[in-house]
Structure 1
């Protein structure tokens, strides 16, 4: 079986500094502007290698750079929802969280005429309502959780947890989870934010880590998904783009590897693994009520 490889780019632009970091410092916010410089470089690289990628875009970015978002769509790449202004969903009540989802959808529709079927939460943060809200808005997949590495699973709702009781698993629902990890994200490796993130690693270090993770997945998780999370304002620096192209060439040399968008993979996996059949398969993330009762 083939290992699927997804290159994903979180085009945050200024929103990450305004939303996640809550900065009002013009210098820090200007760091996001480099994303608009980097996206054309990334699109050129993808076109050269005939690869379709997934771009996760906040609504705020879509309004700031509609022409770039249109170009991403016009070149055949998937656009996924990435919040309104890179906010933490847990910072809002239900009405506020729904507003942010709707605002993001509205802005992406306005900028490029697209209605995303995939979601990635800003900074991979969730509230206890997020999955239910995604179902209400018809999303096919989420890519924010970390319950696996290269194997998708169906997300759950209504898990119960505290510091004194056994963990209580809720029911799986029809939302494909394409798991992520900070290990395969460029931001902690490369970015520098005082009192927060001290990256600035050599690209050779990151190339070694990502290559070995890819090799492990290829040898041990056939049919799985190896996905990289990258940010144009981070990966778009010259020496890092050179690293990315070296990785692409390595991945392409493996004949049992196929590049894919997140949506295409999620749709194929969902079709091959209907929810009821998957729950009966005994996957670690499928926790039946009767199984919990036996504990």
Structure 2
């Protein structure tokens, strides 16, 4: 049974510094400009190995670098929605969150004529309204939550929780969740942000983690998805690109591993695991007994 392997890239550029970190210092914001250097490197590497990628793009980035967005799309890679200016959805009321969603959609449409089927929230933050908004805008999947590792599940609405009463799980809805983890994200391992993220790890440390996590998934989650999150302004540095290519060669050495975009994987998984069958299995987030995976 095939293991899916998704190389995903959060093309934040300047938006992460302007939006998440609220920076107005030109030096800090310029860190995002390195994406103009790293995106061609990444695309060349993917082309060399004939691997599709998923690029999660804020609207702010799409308007800043439309030619790079067109190149990503033109070379057959998936583009997913990644907010407007890397904002935290929980910082907005529902109307404001919807407006940010629309701004991102409008920018991706303007830059490359793309209407994404998938969403990844900036910094993986959600509000109480996010899932409902994603359903209203017709998204097929999300890749922001952490309720699993290698096995997808259907997202939920209506969870209830506080510090005084038992946790109450809500109802599964028609939005496939492709879980993520900070462990498989390059930013905390490599990036340095004063008083926030110390990073600057050696490649050997991260290579060992990403290799062993992959090997564990291959041995224990056949049909699942190894979902690796990278940022062009982080992974695009020389020694990290060399590490990434070594990992690609390791992942390619398995005949039962298929490189995939998030959308392509979801299409197969959804057909094998229709929502009603998932609900009838009694599953909430974990793999139900009847779980099936795409071949």
Range class of TM-score, shorter chain = over 0.9
SS at match of 1:198: coil
1:10-53, Cα deviation, whole Å (9 max, x unpaired): 00000000011011111110000001110000000000000000
**How many angstroms does 1:63 deviate by?**
0.3
**Matched residue, 2:185:** 185
1:103-149, Cα deviation, whole Å (9 max, x unpaired): 00000000000000000000000000000000000000000000000
**Matched residue, 1:132:** 132
**Matched residue, 2:65:** 65
SS at match of 1:19: helix
Q: Any stretches of 5+ residues in structure 2 without a counterpart? A: 287-295
Q: Kindly indicate whether residue 144 of structure 2 is the aligned counterpart of residue 144 of structure 1.
A: yes
**How many angstroms does 1:176 deviate by?**
0.2
**Matched residue, 2:80:** 80
**Matched residue, 2:10:** 10
1:166-190, Cα deviation, whole Å (9 max, x unpaired): 0011100000000000000000000
CA distance in 1, matches of 2:36, 2:282: 45
The answer to whether the 8 A contact 2:172-2:284 is kept is no
SS at match of 2:227: strand
CA distance in 2, matches of 1:33, 1:73: 20
Q: Kindly indicate whether residue 198 of structure 2 is the aligned counterpart of residue 198 of structure 1.
A: yes
**Matched residue, 2:37:** 37
Q: Kindly indicate whether residue 231 of structure 2 is the aligned counterpart of residue 231 of structure 1.
A: yes
**Matched residue, 1:103:** 103
**Matched residue, 1:170:** 170
Q: Any stretches of 5+ residues in structure 1 without a counterpart? A: 287-295
SS at match of 1:79: strand
Q: TM-score, normalised by structure 2?
A: 0.96
SS at match of 1:228: strand
**Matched residue, 1:241:** 241
Q: TM-score, normalised by structure 1?
A: 0.96
Q: Kindly indicate whether residue 19 of structure 2 is the aligned counterpart of residue 19 of structure 1.
A: yes
**Matched residue, 1:50:** 50
**How many angstroms does 1:267 deviate by?**
1.1
CA distance in 2, matches of 1:41, 1:101: 29
**Matched residue, 1:285:** 285
**How many angstroms does 1:278 deviate by?**
1.2
CA distance in 1, matches of 2:279, 2:181: 24
**Matched residue, 2:210:** 210
The answer to whether the 8 A contact 2:13-2:61 is kept is yes
1:184-223, Cα deviation, whole Å (9 max, x unpaired): 0000000000000010000100000000000000000000
CA distance in 2, matches of 1:78, 1:177: 17
SS at match of 2:187: helix
SS at match of 1:174: strand
**How many angstroms does 1:279 deviate by?**
1.9
CA distance in 2, matches of 1:224, 1:200: 30
1:40-77, Cα deviation, whole Å (9 max, x unpaired): 00000000000000000000000000000000000000
CA distance in 1, matches of 2:279, 2:242: 42
